[in-house]
Every structure is written in structure tokens, then in C-alpha cells.
């Protein structure tokens, strides 16, 4: 099972970016990317960077897939996980979440953040993590073994 680490800086940027885009009224989302073969989150890409209208209907409808894949290839990046916000504290997958994986690869991870990420002290532990097993089947990670760990880095470390 793939595991990854994320710096506080990147995590804060992620949660702040989701909150800003959700504005307390709609879902927003992002991809967590690593360099090929690396287990450290290298950068965050928000869906609206590739599809400005992604949150217009209130739920995620991402149409930027083609440009996004080109971007991954050109930058030697791969997707560790996607994350999107839900309106309440309930972070269970909706029927739509289960039937529309952002990445249709077995082992892909989907994260759901509660309350439109309107809490800057949100940690990975407050979110739910699901692994895609193909054929629209998912498995929830137990809280005791989440695949993403927050890491403190030394001062001056390039995040």
C-alpha cells in the first residue's frame, strides 16, 4: 500500500485553498502530487487551475483531465490522491463519489474533507480516506493507518 508524507506548509496551503474556493457554499477539490517514484507530496493542484467551472454546479464536475495529464507528464508528476470538500462533518462517499473516481486506477486514493474545509486546524485525521479497488468499489482506510502523514521539516527546507 502506498504511503505519503506532506509538510505542514503544503497541508496548510491545501486546506486554505479548499476553504477559499468552497466559500462555505460549494464543493472544491485538489490533487496531491508527488514526483515520479517519490513518497513526498511535491505540490498541490486545485481543480479550478485546469477547469474554471469545476465547482459551478455546487458539486465537483472536472473537465480539465486532458490538460491535467499533459501537465503531469511534462513535470514528471504523478497523482497520490485527490481531495474534495463536503458541506457537513459527514465525510462518507456519496453515490456520485463512488461512481465517478477522479482517477480510474486501482489503488488511487480519494480524500473527503468535512465542512467545506472551513477550519484551518483541520488535520488528515479529520478527513476520510478511500482506496479505489476498481469496478466502482472502494475501501475506507481505518483512522489508525491513514496513508498520509503530516511532517515537520527543518527550517529552510524547500517545501
Given 34, 97, 108, 129, the residue binding Zn ion (CB under 5 A): 97
Contact between 94 and Zn ion per CB under 5 A: yes
Residue number with CB closer to Zn ion (47 or 77): 47
Closest CA to 131 of 122, 140, 118, 123: 140
Q: How far is the CB of 75 from Zn ion (least distance, A)?
A: 27
From residue 158, alpha-carbon distances to 9, 43, 130, 151 in Å are 10, 12, 29, 13
Number of residues that bind Zn ion (CB under 5 A): 2
Q: By CB under 5 A, which span of 31-39, 47-55, 88-96, 113-121 interacts with Zn ion?
A: 88-96
Binding of residue 105 to Zn ion (CB under 5 A): no
Q: How far is CA 86 from the centre of its chain?
A: 12
Sheet containing 138-140, strands listed edge to edge, beginning at the edge strand earlier in sequence: 41-46, 29-35, 77-85, 109-113, 128-132, 138-140
SS3 state at 65: helix
Q: From the CB of 85, what's the least distance to Zn ion, in Å?
A: 8
Choices 32-40, 87-95, 115-123, 130-138; region in contact with Zn ion by CB under 5 A: 87-95
- Residues at the site binding Zn ion, with contacts judged by CB under 5 A: 94, 97
Amino acid at each position: 500500500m502506498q504511503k505519503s508524507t506532506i509538510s505542514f506548509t503544503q497541508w496548510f496551503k491545501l486546506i486554505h485553498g479548499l476553504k477559499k474556493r468552497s466559500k462555505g457554499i460549494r464543493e472544491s477539490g485538489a490533487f496531491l502530487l508527488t514526483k515520479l517514484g517519490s513518497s513526498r507530496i511535491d505540490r498541490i493542484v486545485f481543480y479550478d487551475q485546469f477547469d474554471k467551472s469545476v465547482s459551478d454546479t455546487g458539486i465537483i464536475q472536472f473537465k480539465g483531465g486532458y490538460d491535467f495529464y499533459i501537465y503531469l507528464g511534462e513535470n514528471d508528476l504523478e497523482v497520490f490522491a485527490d481531495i474534495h470538500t463536503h458541506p457537513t462533518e459527514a465525510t462518507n462517499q456519496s453515490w456520485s463519489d463512488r461512481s465517478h473516481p477522479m482517477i480510474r486506477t486501482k489503488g488511487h486514493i480519494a480524500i473527503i474533507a468535512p465542512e467545506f474545509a472551513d477550519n484551518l486546524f483541520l488535520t488528515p485525521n479529520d478527513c476520510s480516506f478511500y482506496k479505489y479497488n476498481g469496478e466502482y468499489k472502494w475501501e475506507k482506510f481505518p483512522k489508525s493507518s491513514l496513508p498520509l502523514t503530516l511532517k515537520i521539516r527543518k527550517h529552510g527546507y524547500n517545501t
